[in-house]
Amino acid sequence: MKKLFYLLLILTLLFTNRINAEEELAKNAKSAYLIEMSTGMVLFEKNSEEKLYPASMTKMMSLILVMEALNNNQLKKDEILTISEKAASMGGSQVYLQVNEQMSVEDLLKAVCISSANDAMVALAERISGSVSEFVVLMNQKSKELNLVNTNFVNTTGLHDDAHYSCAKDMARIAQKLIEVGKEELLEITSTYDAYIREESESPFWLVNTNKLVKHAEGVDGLKTGFTQEALSCITVTAKKDQVRMIAVVMKEPDSKTRNAEVMEMIHSGFSKVKYHPLYAKNEIYEPIRFENGMPHDSNLVFLEDVGIVLNAKDTVQIKEIIYSQTKNDLPIQVGEKIGELKIVYNDDKERTVDMGLNTAVMKMGFLDTFVMIFWQILT
């Protein structure tokens, strides 16, 4: 009986310690959420669906639309925009754009990502949709596409409005989508601590990142800060370590110092809870492939990127099914060019699609090559 008592006491203490450890995370935040980027695995949450004011974290959704426009060639980074009166009149964080001033999309993007410039964000929104109101419609449409149920936008910047709200869970999903569409091109900008715009002018403007963690915390390369009197101090942080990327959100923190400390505690906690399991290496051969009308006929399918899966620290990976589908059959095909996709289905029914290519170039057979091949087939 005494042994049973001590066993129950130990289990109670262990359980209590685990709960207390969890409660210590983001203790000053009104709301918090932590996920692993590639899987969306939830590693910590606190009031994660409570509707709060996102302040300038709003710009993550705006940037999704900008990056999609760049990816679809609807917008060019070297395109020069003429600043409207509305953009120039924006308050809050700004780079003091002037009416009819001309600035490249690239510099405007830097101003948004690094300095959280409201005027630059409005200029980009007007270019994409013609007006801020139409751009906001697109923002809310994108929210529906992402199945965000606690988010509503009324502006592109996050300036306060009672009807403009989101939650930590939705902000993390928006960040996840932004990284998916923006990729390294976006993270290269959001991880920049300082830069200049108007460099060719008589008064170049110095941008300093509102996210000081990109300079002072290892692995942090984004993503977006926010502050208004109503929202208080907010931040969405992404950090990468050994093939694992975390996304952490805290909302309504009392000040930026507390905010930064608590969000980094979440990030470190997340890295301690998961592990990366490598499956295939970039350029590793998957299987041979044959092209009857190609020169040479035979090549090998290879992985165009490293492939792995992020797991809970105690889990093991099992692959249920692998399905290859060809997306390009026309020759020629160059080394490293995507010709197909490999869908990997894991034991928990999660899926990963990987781009596949060739390790040797395959050219299309010419008339003489075809004639010689037929001739030898007849002889043999």
Alpha-carbon distance of 173 to 181, in angstroms, equals 13
User: Is 332 in contact with 343 (CB distance < 8 Å)?
Assistant: no
Alpha-carbon distance of 244 to 292, in angstroms, equals 41
Q: Could you give the angle at the alpha carbon of 208 between the alpha carbons of 206 and 212, nearest 5°?
A: 170
Q: Which two tokens stand for residue 59?
A: 């710009």
Count CA within 13 A, CB hemisphere, residue 209: 22
Burial pattern 122-141, b for ≥16 Cβ within 10 A else e, equals bbbbbbbbeebeebbebbee
E-strand ranges in the chain read 31-36, 42-46, 80-82, 102-104, 194-197, 205-208, 220-228, 232-241, 244-253, 274-280, 285-290, 294-295, 298-303, 307-312, 319-326, 340-346, 351-358, 363-364
Alpha-carbon distance of 369 to 380, in angstroms, equals 17
Kindly write down the DSSP assignment for every residue of 293-325, as one continuous string.
TEESSEEEEEESS-EEEEEETT----EEEEEEE
**Residue that the structure tokens 């139409």 belong to:** 134
Q: Which two tokens stand for residue 160?
A: 């306060």
Alpha-carbon distance of 176 to 35, in angstroms, equals 9
Q: Which two tokens stand for residue 157?
A: 């910047």
Q: How far are the Cα atoms of 174, 222, 223, 241, 293 from residue 190, in angstroms, in the given order?
A: 15, 5, 6, 17, 47
Q: Which helix (DSSP H) or strand (DSSP E) does residue 376 occupy? A: helix 367-379
Q: Which residues are designated catalytic?
A: 56, 59, 116
Q: Which two tokens stand for residue 17?
A: 């310690």
